[in-house]
Structure 1
């Protein structure tokens, strides 16, 4: 497999943020200088001789070197550029260039990027962009550990061809090694892009090899390596700078004589000039990382009982009552063992355990699949994930491994058909728990044995007799083949050993631990490689990752030295399929990309700690949505940047206040986020409507607790397979009538559009005249000098608001035709024709308020344009149809806390998106007139000129009871066309034409606001 890369807008923005800071810097192809040849230059050796005799270190000496050109911009120009970059992203504005006194570097830039969004890719691409624009070519990537160093080197390898296609160049890169100093000669003499990767231990540790960078070396012609490096005036990129803030490390950076220092991290500890932000909230909302689910384990100590019980889950089926999967102790011939059992109502644990006294009174009273609870007649109640009785560490680890194996299989069953390989990752603290050694050699450790037992047990439940590709895949893999351990290897004994970890670090210093993980990343992603479960040391938590890690399980005691974000960070990247393509389709990204964390604590405890970590990482976000915050911010539109004036800021603030979207402390409320999710936000004032998308983005930049990424409870996410309703003749007949695909055409005359636009403008265009406020006041008696200074010596006695109806004379020159052409995407000549035909009195409003005139006229013209397109659209059937596979390929799992248990739906449970849908489903499912119904998958869509449209419901009624046996419904909370968005109205109109043209007369399509409205139509 070969990983594929593509141009991602969010990554391009990060690269441009760096490059734009140096706008105006002249391009120089590298400044030539004389490289210090040293005291004893090596003899010239031809490339042929070097290849023949294996002498890569003996290169021909050269005096010509190429270093980065000095910065030509003045500090004032550079600061102005940085502020412009910050302003367009609405970041805090740097009042001055932040200098780091410890490094001595005057130029320091910060880029904040969430783990898993590709910061390594971004700073590699930034090197190419800086070279393209300004000619800089000497770069050093500094990392805090060997793990991250090896990851960066791998990234440079796998992105080389991608950047060659984009920039027409390849970078020369190497890892600094004090025993391979010939690389420094090439780094200095080569005029192309050169990248050195170095870890801080190589120049900041006290070991003999680490000191060599500062020493005059005989094997380096009596030169100091650091002197050869610094002569190039390199640009330093710091990866995870928060781990390199020791005084000695920072002082060491000055030895490199850097032109500038650029810092990349998800969690900056010290900030300089922040020029880009893509934090945890941005990454989740933009669907750039996986969604997190947690499978927690709660230990309950019940008073007066030693009965061990672990409730794994509740199984549901269409043809039998719910069953509880429970682990309990059972008396056997060779002693007492803990074994899993399926329990039904009235099962007696005393009998099932072989007569163990601790289970007396434990008779199953109820099993509730809706809330995942198991109740006994003695009053004990367990929720899925609860463990009671004697739960020692060995029992906890077995439970975790079992849960991880189960989560793996559930994800694999969903993703195998999509060509996505699922990987699961276990972190452990001791190699001996996975691999041990005796006289015979390598033997399994405790965790390896438990894993194979649990794997085989669950495999027997998953495997069926059907000859499917997935079953064949499973049969071809033995348990011992599908897991492997990636640890350090002792060079003498060749045995796996615990890594060498320094007292102050969490990363190993042994590069051998990373070979398989990093160098074989592509192989791990292939179905041809049987390894699917990876055991690794917890010290490898940072520095590597694989996009297809879907399950993470930490088989260790929780501690406070590692944040929950670090624990989940290795699995946050979006997955890839067997073609190396990234699974980032916005419509399905979080249905595919869900990371399950199997925690050794309760769901509530883990999520609470994780959300605390995320919240703390968002501390730089503004918390208050007031006029002061909004004023001066930038709205980025297709027509250019628009600065939020004090007047617009006041309108945004009043809008939030009026609709209870902010509280008394000017903080964003839950109501705002709920209304946005339900697409029920109140309409913005007219002046803000042209920039609605940008205004809401600006509001969303203000942090509130309701914004926190949703962290699901993985135990509530169950398989929800199709049931027998799907095979009913009524549903199959309906499906056969609607599963047609079609292409549309649109023909209309320009004169018709002109006429509609002119009529709408003449009838509806009402421009607000500009207003001014007159205030009258008097000076207070006995006013002090301090009152005069503070402006409180006068009191307002009356005020009035007046309208200014005369022509506005302003220094601002408005391009009326150009602005309207940009807003409507029509030609200037078409806009000019519309304006010429307008009523003179209506057009004269332009003089009183040009901005309001342009905004409202643009909205009205766009509405008429959509109307004309929809009126003249025609659908023609094509040979292709929708496959019924779309019902099984999409969203077979979801959060069951939102589920409705249905009788007549094609799935056992229905997941609704709003209260309106929930009520509609409840009445639909109880109806005696309904034979079967389905919520249509997102893959079933109708193409329209304003985007694909996915209807909500397909309903088949009992024949003979209603007029329209087959019905396609769209549920909306309001039936008023005034309350539907224009884009929705256009899509609905297109859908009506689609069903009218493509399906039979028996199929009816309509928008309804409830079950009553539906029955009025079908009867």
Structure 2
């Protein structure tokens, strides 16, 4: 089985262009499609020729870069950068992408995009650990075929830097093709590293000098770990980068943020699995003296121990656990409101010495820091976690195996010995977790509901084969607890990363994986559906680290991603309450990603599109700040931009005060405010409920009438007038193309010797326009042909009619980029305008019986409401807008029947399949029968819907019109608007 990759995901293309467009206007290096105007200069434009090799050469100055950067940030709704932000020694940029959304794919494809557009060839990827390095190397391996198809068999080579193989350094520097070096920060951050020392294998030159002279574009994977310290920053600077681009979900320093896809965005767009938390923890276990030793403080006056104990709460009428600092002499019996179980627990000594912290009580054993006493046996909790994880796994297996999806479960453990041990003779023995797992597995699979999964299977053998561990080993083969950064970890990761695709196959028995710290980062198998952390106490691993290994969307046996929350749900088996887990996770999102839940910022409205002079433009920063100040004046936000209850109430009652001058974009402003006042949507596994078919509704004449009108399939063809396309493209190029001249850049730098090597610091730079530049003029027609797939004849006509070809001489690449962008935009509009749908025939349709095979699950308190007018007893909704529609469908007397259209009901479009929201049957005045397919959005204005989504909706109109059958397709953002216009 080979993983397949989708090259047309909107958010990934947006991220890639957000870096590629920084260099818009850069003269490209010579390519296969260039024609030289100066034979003595062939191949030098856009390339840096040095004594040690060939490098990247930047033709733009700082003003050009800053202009491009601010345009991209405005487009993406981000805070605009200033000249100070760009970086003193090299340009620094940041991309923020949530774990599981294809960060590695994006930065690898960005490399090929930068080469395709500008001819840059030298790239270094710096990672924080061996684990991530192995992941990147494996990713390049499995994506190579995909990239070669996408970029016309591009020639490239990647290297995993190892100090024993310095010959790769020379090839990296001297090659004229794309070269990608992957290295850990540990390999370059010390003066004693091989790369920083003179070496005879590189003719007495420090190997790092070869890299420095190429002026590489440095991609930093997880920069908060790579360059989070001064030493890390200096090590990156020692590579002499043309620029750095940091990719992470949790940046510490956000240098010139160019694109942001945070946790909230990823969930809203269903680009990662949804999370549900199944909790295993003790409750009402108050029959012993519960004490948890949390910490020690040592002030000048006295030493105190922070303890959690169980106290009587008169208001709640029960025992609650509270933590507080106690001093020597305190009596826990008195401080617990005289609970008998604490008699004798008077503190006699507190030791604050680091590494030896303890607290002593009268007549009881001392407690060490982190110890818990009086809690239910921890082994009972962990064994229950294992059993519940097996049950969740098998339940998903029943549902997903028939869809070709293999289910994996991941257990994090804190001690390898709890899973595998060695006896004195060196024989591997099962630890307690392995023994418990096999015992619980054999019990669980005997449940008759799982019978179909285990036909003709020897359960005894199966129980041993389905689980395995990945741990680092020492030279004697002994398993070890490690940090994830050692050579032993590298060996463990070679195994798990090499077997990544094999593990996804039904042919491989392994399904349950036990691991120590080695899997904390870098392992990105997409089919992890359960994560269980087995620790001696509560998990100290960050929640984001914990769930990060399971967020990626599932892959089927054909190697294809499967989309939608119906399939993609990650169950976290937590040893704490659902509320505590959700609260801590949200706190980490705020701390690590800087997500400011419920916060409006001054630039929040800058990228709203407004019509102006027959065209469209952005609202921009200054006008956005005016709106922000108005919100503060109305007490809708506080001094820090936090949304107040006043705004929430006014949003609910639809009476938000918007200034008269912004009424033209009022709907867009309201839409953004609603989105900004949202929150993370984490599900409680205890609320999970299967949706059942409402047989009475399903078999009713109303449903049959409605379904028989919309069930048919269509095919489409696209026709548009070539002359009209030529005229529209030419007119837009003539009107809106803005080309600036190329420049000669002068720069001067001082050389400084640091621990990281020789570093150059620029102290002067300026530019002059080139009046008659000696360009290597690219073949513009071939370039545009590759970008648009139009014929050469059509492209020549467009350029001639635009009357702007003289500007091509000013800056060829900028001209080509902007012309290609305009042509593609016009083509997308005309494709939808010219599409025609035709009903395939009466024998091609979605059968009503498909509803009987659908397995649906929802969460009572999160995403489902009861229904009496649909074919199911509950409606599962994806947004508050859908929830409001469902409630109003239920209450409105004229709505006789409605369906939330299942995700297998798809309308074909040139932009991918489209799944409408609702089908509705209305009986008006007890006589006239009306049938609708309804698309509901928070805002139906084209400017606020993503262009691709808007175009799909337009295709929906034409599909249902082609069916006839008296079906009307409508889009609306309000039930009232819909029903009033019936």
TM-score by structure 2 length?
A: 0.65
> What is the deviation of 1:145?
0.5
Match 1:715 to one of 675, 686, 693: 686
State the distance in 2 between where 1:148 and 1:739 align: 49
Is 2:866 the counterpart of 1:893? no
Which position in structure 2 is the counterpart of 1:318? none
Task: Decide which moves more: 426-435 or 635-644.
Answer: 635-644
> Post-superposition shift, 1:254?
3.1
Match of 1:514 among 453, 474, 493: 493
Asked if 1:278 is matched to 2:290, the reply is no
Question: 2:819 — aligned with what?
Answer: none
- CA–CA distance in structure 2, aligned partners of residues 972 and 228 of structure 1: 58
5+ long unaligned stretches in structure 2: 30-42, 290-372, 719-829
Q: Structure 1's 125 and 458: CA in aligned 2 closer, same or farther, altered over 3 A?
A: same
- Indicate yes or no: 2:364 matched with 1:400: no
Of 62, 66, 88 in structure 1, the residue corresponding to residue 54 of structure 2 is 66
1:642 to 607, 618, 622: 618
Distance 1:689 1:743 in 2: 40
Q: Report the Cα offset of residue 642 of structure 1.
A: 2.5
- Aligned equivalents of 2:905, 2:413: Cα separation in 1: 45
1:80-128 deviations in Å (ceiling 9; x for gaps) = 3322322332322222243667xxx332112222211222112212211
CA contact (8 A) 1:941 1:951 kept: no
**Aligned pair in 2 of structure 1 residues 630, 199: CA closer, same or farther (>3 Å)?**
closer
- What residue number does 2:804 align with? none
> Any idea what the Cα deviations from partners look like across 1:16-42, whole Å, max 9, x if unmatched?
22222222332235333333xxxxxxx
Residue 216 of structure 1 contacts residue 224 of structure 1 at CA under 8 Å; is this kept in 2?
yes
Aligned to 2:26: 25
Contact 1:564 1:609 in 2 (8 A): yes
Could you tell me how far apart the structure 1 residues matched to 2:247 and 2:960 are? 51
Q: Check the 8 A contact 1:877/1:998 in 2, yes or no.
A: no
Deviations 1:778-798 (A, max 9, x none): xxxxxxxxxxxxxxxxxxxxx
**Corresponding residue of 2:570:** 595
Instruction: Report how far residue 632 of structure 1 moved.
Output: 5.3
Residue 890 and residue 709 in structure 1: after superposition, are their counterparts in 2 closer, same or farther (change >3 A)? farther
Deviation string, structure 1 residues 792-846 (Cα, Å, up to 9, x no partner)? xxxxxxxxxxxxxxxxxxxxxxxxxxxxxxxxxxxxxxxxxxxxxxxxxxxxxxx
Structure 2 Cα separation of the partners of residues 184 and 98 of structure 1: 32
In structure 2, the partner of 1:171 is 156
Alpha-carbon distance between aligned partners in 2 of 1:411 and 1:290, rounded to the nearest angstrom: 14
* 1:914 aligned residue: 883
For residue 403 of structure 2, what is the aligned residue in structure 1? Answer: 418
Match of 2:116 among 132, 151, 157: 132
CA pair 461-17 structure 1, distance change in 2 beyond 3 A: same
Shift in CA distance, 133/989, structure 1 to aligned 2, threshold 3 Å: closer
Structure 1 residues 661 and 873: alpha-carbon distance in aligned structure 2, compared to 1, 3 A threshold: farther
Q: Aligned pair 1:879/2:866, yes or no?
A: no
Aligned residues of 2:647 and 2:656 also touching (Cα < 8 A): no
Please, which moves more after superposition, 183-192 or 388-397? 388-397
Q: Partner of 2:184 in structure 1?
A: 199
Secondary structure in 1 matching 2:381: helix
Cα gap change, 1:304 to 1:117, in 2 (>3 Å):
closer
Do the aligned partners of 2:566 and 2:856 also contact (CA within 8 Å) in 1?
no
Q: Structure 1 unaligned segments of length 5 or more: list them.
A: 36-64, 307-387, 748-864, 957-961, 1000-1004
The residue matched to 1:415 in structure 2 has which SS? Answer: helix
Question: Pick from 65, 86, 93: which aligns with 2:73?
Answer: 86
Mark the CA change 1:883 to 1:629 in structure 2 (over 3 Å): closer, same or farther.
same
Aligned partner of 1:249 in structure 2 is: 232
Counterpart Cα distance in 1 of 2:259 and 2:954? 37
1:612 deviates by 0.8
Pairs within 5 Å for 1:349-498: 391-438=376-423, 439=425, 441-461=427-447, 463=449, 478-493=462-477, 495-498=478-481
Contact kept? 2:590, 2:596, Cα under 8 Å: no
Once the two structures are TM-superposed, the CA of residue 498 in structure 1 deviates from its matched residue by 2.6
TM-score by length of 1: 0.62
Which residue number corresponds to residue 547 of structure 1? 526
Q: Do the aligned partners of 1:116 and 1:569 also contact (CA within 8 Å) in 2?
A: yes
Cα drift, residue 557 of structure 1? 4.7
The verdict on how the C-alpha distance between 1:97 and 1:19 changes in structure 2, with shifts beyond 3 A counting, is farther
> Alignment partner of 1:186: what SS?
helix
Deviation (angstroms), 1:389 = 9.8
Aligned to 1:619: 594
Contact 2:903 2:915 in 1 (8 A): no
The structural deviation recorded for 1:298 is 3.4
Q: Deviations over 1:239-296 (max 9, x none)?
A: 1111132222322233322222222221221232222222222222222222111112
Tell me if structure 2 keeps the 8 A contact 1:113–1:119: yes
**Contact 2:398 2:450 (C-alpha < 8 Å) held by counterparts:** no
CA distance in 2, matches of 1:580, 1:473: 28
Q: Deviation at 1:714?
A: 1.4
Structure 2: how far apart are the matches of 1:922 and 1:462? Answer: 41
Q: 1:943 to 1:490 in 2, by over 3 A?
A: closer
Is the alpha carbon distance of 1:15 and 1:989 closer, same or farther for their aligned partners in structure 2, counting shifts above 3 Å? closer
Which whole-Å CA distance do the structure 2 matches of 1:549 and 1:486 have between them? 15
Residue 553 (structure 2) pairs with residue 574 (structure 1):
yes
Corresponding position: 1:214 with 2:196 = yes
2:169 matched to 1:184?
yes
1:796-875 alignment runs, 5 A limit: none
Question: Which residue of structure 1 aligns with residue 766 of structure 2?
Answer: none
Q: Displacement of 1:452 after TM fit?
A: 1.9
Higher mean displacement: 186-195 or 937-946: 937-946
| C-alpha RMSD of matched pairs (Å) | 5.2
112-121 or 77-86, which deviates more = 77-86
1:426 Cα shift? Answer: 0.8
Aligned positions of 1:44-123 closer than 5 A = 65-69=53-57, 71-98=58-85, 105-123=89-107
Q: CA deviation at 1:711?
A: 0.4
Counterpart CA distance in 1 for 2:2 and 2:543 is 31
Distance 2:640 2:200 in 1: 68
Structure 1 residue 484, shift from structure 2 partner: 1.5
| Inter-CA distance 736–644: structure 2 relative to 1 (3 Å threshold) | closer
Cα shift readout 1:199-252 (whole Å, capped 9, x = no counterpart): 11212258xxx6222223344444422223323222211111111322223222
SS of 1:452's equivalent in the other structure is helix
Structure showing greater Rg: 1
Distance in 2 between residues matched to 1:152 and 1:989, nearest whole Å: 44
Secondary structure of the residue aligned to 1:403 is: helix
2:562 aligned partner: 583
What is the DSSP-based 3-state SS (H/G/I as helix, E as strand, rest coil) of the residue aligned with 2:187?
helix
Q: 1:598 to 1:995 in 2, by over 3 A?
A: same
3-state SS of the aligned residue for 1:256? coil
Please state if 1:12 is matched with 2:29: no
For residue 457 of structure 1, give the secondary structure of its aligned residue in structure 2. Answer: helix
